[in-house]
């Protein structure tokens, strides 16, 4: 039996907007998206050796007391530089330099305390 159809046939909404795409590609894309958000990154963290812009390094077996002493010297130098800078500034920039100076002084006090603790713990 012959059924008459209008020419052209009426447009119907497709069942899926992805009817023309390969289902394997869609499945692979979905897996990739899920892996990105749900699977943890198993890549190891980069060590300082891997960084391209490495300028300074601290040897792994450095003496802790020597590190603390060097830190103290660095904080002392920063404090002196900040005081010199603050003398040449006025108003808000001076207050900013003095605030940074006070933070460096707190760092100095922390390092001094750690050095005192290191000496108290180490056998004489």
For 16-52, give the DSSP string. -TTTTS-HHHHHHHHHHHHHHHHSPP-SPPPPGGG-T
From residue 9, how far is each of 2, 5, 12, 73, 98 by CA, in Å? 16, 7, 9, 87, 82
> What tokens were used for 53?
């812009």
Asked if residue 74 belongs to a domain, the reply is yes
Instruction: Tell me the percentage of the chain whose pLDDT exceeds 90.
Output: 23
Instruction: Indicate whether 124 pLDDT > 60.
Output: no
Asked if residue 104 belongs to a domain, the reply is yes
Average pLDDT, the chain: 78
The 10s digit of each residue's pLDDT in 18-75 is 555 677 887 888 888 888 777 766 665 666 556 566 677 778 888 888 888 888 899 8
- The range of the structural domain enclosing residue 85 comes to 58-119
Asked if residue 88 belongs to a domain, the reply is yes
Asked if residue 99 belongs to a domain, the reply is yes
Asked if residue 110 belongs to a domain, the reply is yes
Asked if residue 98 belongs to a domain, the reply is yes
DSSP-assigned letter for residue 4: -
Asked if residue 21 belongs to a domain, the reply is no
Asked if residue 40 belongs to a domain, the reply is no
Comparing CA positions, the residue from 72, 59, 65, 58 lying closest to residue 123 is 65
Model-wide pTM > 0.75: no
**Domain count within the chain:** 1
């Amino acid at each position: 039996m012959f059924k008459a159809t209008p020419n052209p046939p009426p447009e119907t909404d497709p069942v899926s907007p992805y009817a023309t795409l390969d289902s394997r590609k869609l499945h692979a894309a979905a897996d990739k998206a899920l892996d990105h958000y749900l699977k943890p990154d198993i890549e190891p963290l980069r060590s300082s050796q891997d960084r391209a812009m490495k300028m300074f390094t601290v040897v792994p077996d450095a003496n802790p007391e020597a590190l603390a002493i060097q830190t103290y010297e660095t904080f002392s130098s920063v404090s002196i530089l900040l005081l010199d800078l603050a003398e040449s500034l006025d108003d808000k920039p001076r207050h900013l330099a003095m605030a940074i100076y006070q933070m460096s002084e707190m760092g100095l006090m922390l390092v001094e305390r750690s050095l005192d603790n290191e000496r108290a713990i180490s056998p004489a």
